[in-house]
Amino acid sequence: MKNLLSMEHLTNEEILYILDRAQAFEQGEPSQLTKTYHVANLFFEPSTRTKTSFEMAERQVGCTVIPFDAGFSSALKGETMYDTVKTLEMIGIDAVVIRAKEDEYYNELLEGINCAVINAGDGAGQHPSQCLLDLYTIRKEFGTFEGLNITIVGDISHSRVAKSNATALKKLGANVRFLCPKDWKGDFEAVHSWEEVLEDSDVIMLLRIQHERHAISKNFSKDSYHDEFGLTAAREKRMKQGAIIMHPAPVNRDVEIADELVECERSRIFTQVRNGVYARMAILETILKGREQTWQSHTSKILNV
């Protein structure tokens, strides 16, 4: 793996390798990196969990984190993404972690950029690191993906989490269903009533309503959305035994999920946050180790000439 841009680019073998390394990190195994790498986090959209989780993961695998503040960068003067990343590469950055509002912003970086690019979220496109931590959370719970019923609920059309998870979970053998208002399904087939999915779901994955991405806002009040599409306390009681609740956060309490359920016995919402550090450690190690091996191979060929 040279970069991590989309779950569509990963094979099942690559996914499972990253999950195995995440498990190893959680069990206390040290990083296999043999040198110190310099990483910069370029976040052009707000983030709490992803940004701080990456920063923690970078330090845990022995990287040096070079500060970057998008609000005080030359992007405000019109500098392109390519020129920003190329500048950082020339300074000595080995990898950049980027979140941007544009879908597939990374396409302009594929030619001419040699440092590793890790997509931390592109518009309403993909969020591969969130997907990998979600997969790790599910595998820890069930040991497999094969045959699980995963129901993703909410703002499907604008959710990079939904798109990333749908891609990966289907490849790994899970049954993925979508529940949302009729005009929020995007390109997916979806149901519009809890009655069709509630009682046989192994995982209910809730999504935040992304008001900032709606050109025209659906006429839902906080209470009406919660009543129709939220996971209420009454609905939680009807979930199957052993089923779990997930949410990528930030959580709108009493909108997507009843406040009392955020930390209930079924909830893995804050467990996902903790798992995010291990998953991102595995992502960083896998990409940087791969580049390390490529460099060593290239050096050996030169020395053998």
The confidence score (pLDDT) of residue 218 equals 55
Note whether 150 and 106 are same-domain residues: no
- CA 249 from centroid of its chain's CA atoms: 11
Measured distance CA(64)–CA(260) in Å, rounded: 40
pLDDT for 43-97, tens place per residue? 999 999 999 999 999 999 999 999 999 888 988 899 999 999 999 999 999 999 9
- Asked whether the beta carbons of 229 and 216 are under 8 A apart, the reply is no
Question: Is residue 77, in this structure, part of any structural domain at all?
Answer: yes
Residue 294 — very low, low, confident or very high, per pLDDT cuts 50/70/90? low
Q: Could you check whether the bond before residue 250 is cis, i.e. omega within 30 degrees of 0?
A: yes
**Which domain covers residue 119, as residue numbers?**
7-126+273-304
Question: Is residue 194, in this structure, part of any structural domain at all?
Answer: yes
Measured distance CA(132)–CA(260) in Å, rounded: 27
Note whether 231 and 292 are same-domain residues: no
CATH code of the domain in which 190 resides: 3.40.50.1370
Question: Is residue 174, in this structure, part of any structural domain at all?
Answer: yes
- 114-127 burial, b at 16+ Cβ within 10 Å, e below that, comes to ebbbbbbbbbbbbb
Measured distance CA(305)–CA(301) in Å, rounded: 6
Question: Is residue 93, in this structure, part of any structural domain at all?
Answer: yes
Question: Is residue 2, in this structure, part of any structural domain at all?
Answer: no
Residue whose entry in the numeric block shows the structure tokens 């089923």: 243
Note whether 218 and 109 are same-domain residues: no
Question: Is residue 283, in this structure, part of any structural domain at all?
Answer: yes
Question: Is residue 1, in this structure, part of any structural domain at all?
Answer: no
Q: Indicate the number of domains in the chain.
A: 2
The confidence score (pLDDT) of residue 212 equals 54
Specify the pTM: 0.93
Distance between start and end Cα atoms, the chain: 27
DSSP lists the bridge partners of residue 216 as none
Give 57's contacts (C-beta < 8 A, 6+ positions apart): 276, 277, 278, 280, 281, 283, 284
The confidence score (pLDDT) of residue 186 equals 83
pLDDT for 221-278, tens place per residue? 778 999 999 999 999 999 999 999 999 999 999 999 999 999 999 999 999 999 999 9
Question: Is residue 226, in this structure, part of any structural domain at all?
Answer: yes
The confidence score (pLDDT) of residue 209 equals 83
CA of 101: how far to CAs of 67, 81, 126, 274, 282, in Å?
A: 20, 12, 11, 25, 25
pLDDT for 147-161, tens place per residue? 999 999 998 988 999
Residue 211 — very low, low, confident or very high, per pLDDT cuts 50/70/90? low
Note whether 171 and 184 are same-domain residues: yes
Mean pLDDT rounded to a whole number for the chain? 92
